[in-house]
Amino acid sequence: MGRDTGRVAFLGPEGTFTEEALLASAAHGDLAPFPYPSIQDVLIAVAEGEAELGLVPIENSLEGSVVLTLDLLSSGFDELEIAREITHPIRHQLIARRELQLEEITKVVSIPIAYGQCRTFIREHLANVEHEATDSTAEAVRRISRVDRPWVAIGTRLAADLYECAVVRDDIEDSLENRTRFVYVSRTSAPQDLDASYKTSIVCGIAADQPGALLLILSEFAHRFVNLTKIESRPSKQGLGQYIFFLDLEGRRSDPPIDQALKCLACKLPWVKVLGSYPT
Residues binding its own copies (CB under 8 A): 38, 61-65, 67-68, 71, 111-112, 115-116, 131, 133-135, 177, 211-212, 214-215, 218-219, 222, 227-228, 230-235, 237, 245
Closer Cβ to its own copies, 147 or 222, answer by number = 222
Report d(CA 171, CA 174) in Å as an integer.
Answer: 9
Closer Cβ to its own copies, 25 or 210, answer by number = 210
Closer Cβ to its own copies, 135 or 170, answer by number = 135
166 touches 39 (CB < 8 A): no
137 touches 88 (CB < 8 A): no
Closer Cβ to its own copies, 129 or 166, answer by number = 129
State the nearest-atom distance from the C-beta of 42 to its own copies, in Å.
14
Closer Cβ to its own copies, 187 or 224, answer by number = 224
216 touches 222 (CB < 8 A): no
